[in-house]
Chain A
Amino acid sequence: MQRQINKNGELQHLLTIEGLPAAMLHHILDTAESFVSVTEREVKKVPLLRGKAIFNLFFEPSTRTRTTFEIAAKRLSADVINLNISASSQSKGETLLDTVNNLSAMHADMFIVRHAQSGAAHLIANHVAPEIHVINAGDGRHAHPTQALLDMYTIRHFKRDFHELRVAIIGDIMHSRVARSQIHALTTLGVPEVRVIAPKTLLPKGVEHLGVHPYHDMSKGLKDVDVLLMLRLQNERMQGALLPSAQEYFKYYGLTPEKLALAKPDAIVMHPGPMNRGIEIDSAVADGPQSVILPQVTFGIAVRMAVMSILAGS
């Protein structure tokens, strides 16, 4: 198992939130705050990673995450190379580590890895030379640490103190790497009550061992909640036996203004995107006054700048 923290106590790779101390999470969020002010300037760039080569290794399609990593790297003055691997060498039979070896030979300084297999980023982190850093941009059902960090940044921005919050994660917990990373981040940062709300078929068994309270009923689960973290319902789940239909799901678990009214009046609504309007979230909520979905996107760039610069400096 690759250790993310090196012998000097610095972050070498970012592979998962699990096991990172609260102080490290706060350090990332504090650093991100400084980058937010950079991105509001005339020149939205700092020279920190000038001359570094950062490779976006996306073995699974993703426009948004890849783009925000690309913007973040460019704002740090790094050179960014985007590789959409599903379309190139993998189809020619090259293995994952062969691809990494080739790119390392091109003097890569950092890999940002998105892969459908859990553990892919760990595998690469274990394999590369010590001066190369790896960021997990989502691996299978396992983890999506930068998404969870930008969610934590957004919560801290709007709610200030984690220690008095009731947070609900709503939707397909079972298949969600985002939910897993969110749960680890929220519990590490001291949120006293984390709820997960989903139909039984989309809630993994034993989820309460992660320190969360499971609910199957939105009317109970949303009561007095401060923060709602919506998850994207993957369309492919609809075809299987897990869910009867999109309409049915929306009826019970879709976030409508009526359901949102059960939460605290100043509750905020978040979503990692892309949204399925009319399935997990009603447009009236997504575009409503309690939605902070677009600020999430903006903060996501600053958070990724923070992670990259902390890794590159370790």
Chain B
Amino acid sequence: MELPQTRDILEKLAKDIRIDLSDDTILVGIHTGGAWLAEELHRMLSLSTPLGMLDISFYRDDFERIGLHPEVKPSDIPFDVDGADILLVDDVLYTGRTVRAAINEIFDYGRPARIRLAVLVDRGGRELPIEARFTGIKLDLDENRMIDLLRNETGGLELRLRVGN
């Protein structure tokens, strides 16, 4: 399968978000790919609101099975969550478990007015009732296919499709 240019997917996502953006919408990226994507969207949309970052390692539902993620990063929520209009950003939406964990973590900071979700890729395979409000591209991928977002030295984002788990 041939992927469209990552840049084109990004442009489409940014365009969709722009239409529905309010003045006080705050982007919160999920570590790692989602944080890169949130940074990029923040730049593309010329936002002046703060940018948040979540590492959901402490909220994962598979801690019992696989333990603590070896590279936990501090979450950074530099704004008051109470009453905030949050746009949660992740690179790939798959089972929905990461988004579930992120929503739970946000509520430990306060009670937001609204949380919406933006993803670069929706690859199907949901295990929870979670859908994105903004989607760059929808792909129907087999279980054995993986899709990752990579960032090169110059900060450019690139989607990579591969086989494996």
Binding site for B on A (CB under 8 A): 10, 27, 30-31, 33-34, 36-38, 41-43, 45-48, 309-310, 312-314
Q: A43-B108, A47-B58 are in contact. Are A34 and B67 (CB under 8 A)?
A: no
Does B73 count as interface, using CB distance less than 8 angstroms?
yes
Does B76 count as interface, using CB distance less than 8 angstroms?
yes
Q: Is the CB of A45 within 8 A of B108?
A: yes
Separation of A43 and B58 alpha carbons in the complex (Å):
13
Q: Is the CB of A41 within 8 A of B109?
A: yes
Can you name 14 extra interface pairs (CB under 8 A) apart from A38-B58, A43-B107, A312-B67? A10-B67, A30-B71, A31-B72, A34-B74, A34-B75, A37-B75, A42-B81, A42-B108, A42-B109, A46-B59, A48-B58, A48-B59, A48-B68, A313-B67
Q: Is the CB of B108 within 8 A of A48?
A: no
Q: Is the CB of A47 within 8 A of B59?
A: yes
Complex contacts, A47 vs chain B, CB 8 Å: 58-59, 104
Total number of B residues with any Cβ neighbor in A under 8 Å: 23
Minimum CB–CB distance for A179 against chain B, Å: 30
Complex contacts, A309 vs chain B, CB 8 Å: 58, 68
Does B110 count as interface, using CB distance less than 8 angstroms?
yes
Instruction: Specify which of B74, B77, B81, B110 is in contact with A33 (CB 8 Å cutoff).
Output: B74
Chain B interface helix/strand/loop/mixed:
loop
Minimum CB–CB distance for A310 against chain B, Å: 6
Complex contacts, B66 vs chain A, CB 8 Å: 313
CB closest residue in chain B, given A45:
B108
Does B63 count as interface, using CB distance less than 8 angstroms?
yes
Q: Is the CB of B76 within 8 A of A37?
A: yes
Separation of A46 and B73 alpha carbons in the complex (Å):
15
CB closest residue in chain A, given B80:
A42
Does B25 count as interface, using CB distance less than 8 angstroms?
no
Q: Is the CB of A34 within 8 A of B59?
A: no
A interface footprint on B42-76 (CB within 8 Å = 1, 0 otherwise): 00000000000001011100010011101111111
Complex contacts, B104 vs chain A, CB 8 Å: 47
CB closest residue in chain A, given B104:
A47
Separation of A211 and B73 alpha carbons in the complex (Å):
33
Complex contacts, B109 vs chain A, CB 8 Å: 41-43
Complex contacts, B105 vs chain A, CB 8 Å: 46
Separation of A147 and B92 alpha carbons in the complex (Å):
41
Instruction: Specify which of B57, B63, B108 is in contact with A34 (CB 8 Å cutoff).
Output: B57
Interface CB pairs A-B, < 8 A, 17: A27-B70, A30-B71, A31-B72, A34-B55, A34-B57, A41-B108, A41-B109, A42-B81, A46-B58, A46-B108, A48-B58, A48-B59, A310-B67, A310-B68, A312-B67, A313-B63, A313-B67
Q: Is the CB of A30 within 8 A of B72?
A: yes
Minimum CB–CB distance for B54 against chain A, Å: 11
Q: Is the CB of B110 within 8 A of A42?
A: yes
